Every structure is written in structure tokens, then in C-alpha cells.
Amino acid sequence: MKLPFTDLVVLLVYLGGIVLFGSWFVRKSKKPDAFMAANRSLSGWIVGLSIIGTYISSISFLANPGKAFMSNWNPMVFSFSLPLAAWLATRYFVPFYRKGGEISAYHHLEFRFGPWARLYAVVMYLLTQMARIGTILYLVALTMTTFTGFSIQTIIIVTGVLVIIYTILGGIEAVIWTDAIQTVVLVVGAIISIGILLVDIPGGFGRIMDIASANAKFSLGSFGSSLAEPTFWVVLVYGVTINLQNFGIDQGYIQRYIAARSDKDARLSVWMGALSYIPISAMFFFIGTALFAFYSIQPDLLPASIEGDSVFPYFIVNELPVGLTGLIIAALFAAAMSTIDSSLNSSATIILQDIYKRYVRPGAGDKESMRVLYGATLLWGVIGTGMALAMIGAESALDTWWEYASIFSGGMLGLFLLGLISRAENPAAVTGVSCGVLIILWMSVSSGWGTFSSPFHNFLAIVFGTLAILLVGIIVSRIRKKLQLEEEVV
């Protein structure tokens, strides 16, 4: 189905406006510090809005309604850990990074454990961003192919190119300002969608609640002790780990802390991002639940082939009035672009800071550094686009992304915490990371190994990997110190 002319105009005006607005910051991002940290001059509320936009990607816009439609609100448990992560971030992480002054989140790991620790974190981060960009591009293309009739491949490539353009030209300040604008757009889009569903469903809110309750749609999952299923506890522990990783060691967030003009502004941005995401994510889950009620009452309106992540796009195409469809699609693009641009800028930053300046040209000047930043942004945009093309046909993008995040994150949080809260030295850290990586690989690839298969859900890979690095590192450190004391006595 092709978009009506009015909707097409709305979409094109929005896309053109965002690209032009982001590109306008080229005049302010011609030096490395401006490109990577906006000269450390931004207010907390702008940075906070950009954090919200980064969290509310197309993963939230499409996959969360899809999960609520097909099952229940179990993934919502992920959000419940955000206040804890925000508190820890404002108390420990924000002061730590702002006091150090380094733009790279992984610079300090080299001083703590050696070059290998820094490189390990950098590689794992880049792989994670590759998966994130791919998942988001795939989801937005999945929707747009329904709207426009263009192939998923074409839409993935075009969207990737648009984001790459203004991210290269505008740097982190363009990323943060466009993310702030796009946050407003996508929240408005979600509110409009809910309003239309409430009007279109006979009986309105009350009817939705009745149908949802009868089908256990508001369930947060099993409270049982199984570790092989995404129970309430499994998702909660996964959420704690991922959100601590986001606020504690994710380069995209660390750059935002550095870009804020003061410690107070940086802390404000963290609390804005964390606390706002909970009600906003609930809105998207409610959309999925309302869609279930809508199509339960009128099952003939939904083809049997439409399910999961495709339900919300199908509703947008077939049920929204002309004009509003274009606005909702613009909101979807806002959700996608606000995460991709951040991933591209942060990936380029650590490629320059942690790879090029560390191993290739430590004394690189501003012009050379800018060429590296531009080239790295382009390179990682192309790689992420390739990842999106490889994901075509994924059954559930949300599950796919969460599994990729567990695998590629590689327990980075464990290494960071080991350095932060213990006196472990390099041998203990190497042993801990080795054990953590082996556990992650076993849990990720052992399906079908019979007796040797992992009995745990894949969401727990990053949890167990983090704990293994932390605990093994501490234990080995204490054993080494005990042996050293015994040798001294002898």
C-alpha cells in the first residue's frame, strides 16, 4: 500500500527537516572535542531528552507493542530496574567520568589492568553497537515496506544513509539536539495512537481492560524459579545488568555526561532519561494490548499472516486517518534515527580515541582526527546497515536484540566493577574475563549439544558472564595475595 500524498509530504518534510537541522551543526563540530563532546556546554534537559530518545528506539516503538499483542507485559519488567541504575549512575559513574575528563569510557581500564582490558571493552562495545544499529534499521524497514511497497533492503540502505549524513556533519551536538526533538515527536505519536485506539474500540478503555484481563495480557510473567524461561526474575536481573551497563560503561551515555556543562546537568540528564522511560515504555505496551482488544472484537480486520512486530504497522496503514499516518511514520523514524546516530557517533569516538590514537598515531592533530572520525562514522554506518540486511526474517526483533546484547556485551560490566570495587590486579582480571567469556560462549552456542547444552535462558548470558568476571577476579586476587603473604613469611 502506498502512502497517500498528504502522508508522504508529512514524512518527507520531517526527514528533510531533521537531516538539515542536524547538518546545521557542522559549523560547530569542526574540531574533535566539539564533534565528540560538544565542547562540554549542553544543558541537562537537552541531554536528558536525548537519553530518552536513545532508549525509545524503534525497538520500543514496534517490538514492545508486538510483544504485548502476542503475549503479555513481561518485557516491561526490564524498565523496573532503571531507578536503581540511575541512582548508581548519579552517585558513582557521573562523578567518576567527569572528574577523569577523558571522552573514552574505556581509557581508565588500561591504567587499571593493562592495554588488553581497554581493547577488550572497545571490541565488545563496537560489536554491541553493530547489533543495535542492525536491529533498529531492520525494524524501521519492516514497517516502511508495508507503507511504501519498497523492498526492505532499499529502505534499510536509504535510512542508513540519511542518518550517516547528519551524524558525520553535525557531531555529538547534532545527535543530542536531534534526539531531543525526535523524543517529543515519538511520544506525541504514541499518544495519538492510543487516543485513536480508545475512540475506535467499542466500549473504549473499559472494554480494553476487560479483554486484556480475561487473556492475562497485563501479566508480568511467571514468578517461578525457572532459569530456562523469561520469568519475571530473569527479565528483572537481565534489566539490572543491562541498565547498569548502559549508564555505567556505555560510550554513548558517557559522552553525554561529558557533554553536559556541569555535574548537576549531567545528573539531571540521567534521572530524566531513566524515570521518563518507565511510563513511556508502558504506553507502547498498552498500544499492543489495545491492538489485541481491537482485533479480538473485529478479527476479520487482521489477516492471519500479520502478527508480532507487524501488527502495529498494519494498524497504522489501515486504520489511521490521512495525515496522521504520516505523523506516526515520522515518529517511527524519529525512534530509529535517535538511536542510530548516537551509536554511530560513540563508535567513531572510541575508534579514534582507543584504537587510532592508541595504536596508530598517538600524536594525531585535529585535522587528522576529524578525518578519522568522519571515516569511522561512515564505516560503522555501513557495517550496521549490513547487519540489518542480515537480520531480515527474524521472528522477533526484540528477542534477537536482547540475545545479541547479551552475547556481544561480553560481561564488560564485570570487568569495570572488578576495577572499581576491588584491588584485583592484572592476572586476576585476565582469569575472570576468561571465565566470563567461556560462560557466555557456552550459553550462547550450546543449543543442541544434548547433555552439554546450557539449561539457562539466553538473557542470563550477560548476567552470568558479569558475575563470573567479578567473582572469579576477586577470588583469584585474594588467593594470590594470600600466597604472596605466605612466601614473605617463609
Q: φ and ψ at 260, to 5 degrees?
A: -65, 150
- State which of 5-9, 19-23, 41-45 shows the largest mean pLDDT: 41-45
Q: How far is CA 333 from CA 174, 230, 308, 472, in A?
A: 16, 29, 19, 43
Confidence of residue 490 (pLDDT cuts 50, 70, 90): low
According to DSSP, the residues that pair with 272 across neighbouring strands are: none
CA distance 24 to 174: 8
219 backbone φψ class: left, alpha, beta (φ>0; ψ -120 to 50): beta
The pTM assigned to this predicted structure is 0.87
Q: Where are the domains of the chain?
A: 5-395, 410-490
CA distance 253 to 249: 8
* Residue 393 pLDDT exceeds 80: no
Which range, of 125-134, 275-284, 332-341, 400-409, averages the lowest pLDDT?
400-409
According to DSSP, the residues that pair with 42 across neighbouring strands are: 260
Q: Which helix (H) or strand (E) holds 191?
A: helix 152-200
Q: Which of 307, 79, 330 is nearest to 193 (CA)?
A: 330
Confidence of residue 397 (pLDDT cuts 50, 70, 90): low
What is the percent of the chain with per-residue pLDDT over 70, rounded to a whole number? 95
Question: What pLDDT score does 399 carry?
Answer: 60
Strands (E), 10-55: none
- Count of Cβ atoms closer than 10 Å to residue 238 Cβ: 25
Confidence of residue 381 (pLDDT cuts 50, 70, 90): very high
Q: What is the pLDDT of residues 137-195, one digit of tens each?
A: 887 787 777 677 778 898 889 888 888 888 888 888 888 888 888 788 888 888 988 99
Q: Which of 418, 434, 421 is nearest to 473 (CA)?
A: 418
Confidence of residue 285 (pLDDT cuts 50, 70, 90): very high
With 0-12 / 13-18 / 19 or more C-beta atoms within 10 angstroms meaning exposed / middle / buried, residue 378 is middle
* Residue 385 pLDDT exceeds 70: yes
Q: φ and ψ at 478, to 5 degrees?
A: -70, -40
- Give the 3-state secondary structure of residue 41: coil
CA distance 398 to 402: 6
Q: What is the CATH number of domain 5-395?
A: 1.20.1730.10
CA distance 458 to 229: 9
The mean per-residue pLDDT over the stretch 127-145 comes to: 82
CA distance 386 to 138: 10
| First-residue to last-residue Cα distance in the chain | 82
103 near 255, Cβ under 8 Å? yes
DSSP for residue 341: H
195 near 187, Cβ under 8 Å? no
Question: What pLDDT score does 284 carry?
Answer: 92
The mean per-residue pLDDT over the stretch 364-381 comes to: 92
Q: Which helix (H) or strand (E) holds 31?
A: none
Q: Output the average pLDDT for the chain.
A: 86
313 near 141, Cβ under 8 Å? no
Which range, of 132-146, 304-318, 396-410, 440-454, averages the lowest pLDDT?
396-410
Q: Which of 79, 143, 133, 132 is nearest to 332 (CA)?
A: 143
Q: Which helix (H) or strand (E) holds 218?
A: none
Q: How far is CA 358 from the centre of its chain?
A: 27
44 near 266, Cβ under 8 Å? yes
The mean per-residue pLDDT over the stretch 63-77 comes to: 91
Confidence of residue 59 (pLDDT cuts 50, 70, 90): low
According to DSSP, the residues that pair with 260 across neighbouring strands are: 42
CA distance 276 to 49: 9
- State which of 303-317, 387-401, 458-472 shows the largest mean pLDDT: 458-472
Q: What is the pLDDT of residues 238-278, one digit of tens each?
A: 899 889 888 988 898 999 999 999 999 999 999 999 999 99
- Give the 3-state secondary structure of residue 310: helix
DSSP for residue 39: G
Stronger pLDDT, 433 or 100, i.e. the higher one: 433
